[in-house]
Amino acid sequence: MLTIDAVAHDLLVAHALGGFPDEACGLLGGEVRSGTDPDDLPIASVDVFVPTRNHDASSRTYTIGPEGFLAADRTLDPVGLTVVGVAHSHTHSEAWPSSTDVDKADNPLLEGWHYVIVSLREPTPVLRSFLLDGRTIREERVRISRA
């Protein structure tokens, strides 16, 4: 299960909308918790969303450049958080990992990351999260935490 702070959620969705017609992207700062949820998936929280530039400037793909990772380090390190995943928008398709998303996630350095996708296909954005292990896609529950 992925719990997203309401402020981080709102910033993430606003960034996705602001990036249109291109895909928007950013990094998720938070913590991985011990244990698993009822679906035997890891439990994590997202406390901060770090918006980044899409180096691809594309409506079909995204790439986060080194300055995006540096911005995340500068934002997250002082508050004791780490990057727990990535978020990006799909401008014309559902919130489900594309074959390109799965290919990019097939990297041992990204193991355990949470992949949040915001679909802008419908008038109201749809947010879903996934764990991508090799070529296996597992959707996880998302909870928005409003303190």
Q: Give the predicted TM-score (pTM) of the model.
A: 0.95
- Which two three-digit tokens encode residue 33? 């918790």
Query: Would you say 29 and 45 are in contact if contact means Cβ atoms under 8 Å apart?
Result: no
Domain boundaries, the chain: 2-145
Q: Which fold has domain 2-145?
A: Cytidine Deaminase; domain 2 (3.40.140)
pLDDT of res. 31: 97
Which amino acid is residue 143, in one-letter code?
R
pLDDT of res. 107: 85
Dist. CA 8–CA 22, nearest whole Å: 21
Nearest Cα residue to 81 out of 118, 33, 128, 146: 33
56 secondary structure, DSSP code: T
pLDDT of res. 111: 86
pLDDT of res. 146: 87
pLDDT of res. 110: 87
pLDDT of res. 59: 95
pLDDT of res. 50: 98
DSSP SS3 for 78: helix
Tokens 């978020």 identify what position? 87
* Residue segments in the chain with a per-residue pLDDT below the cut of 50: none
Dist. CA 1–CA 33, nearest whole Å: 10
pLDDT of res. 4: 98
Dist. CA 73–CA 68, nearest whole Å: 9
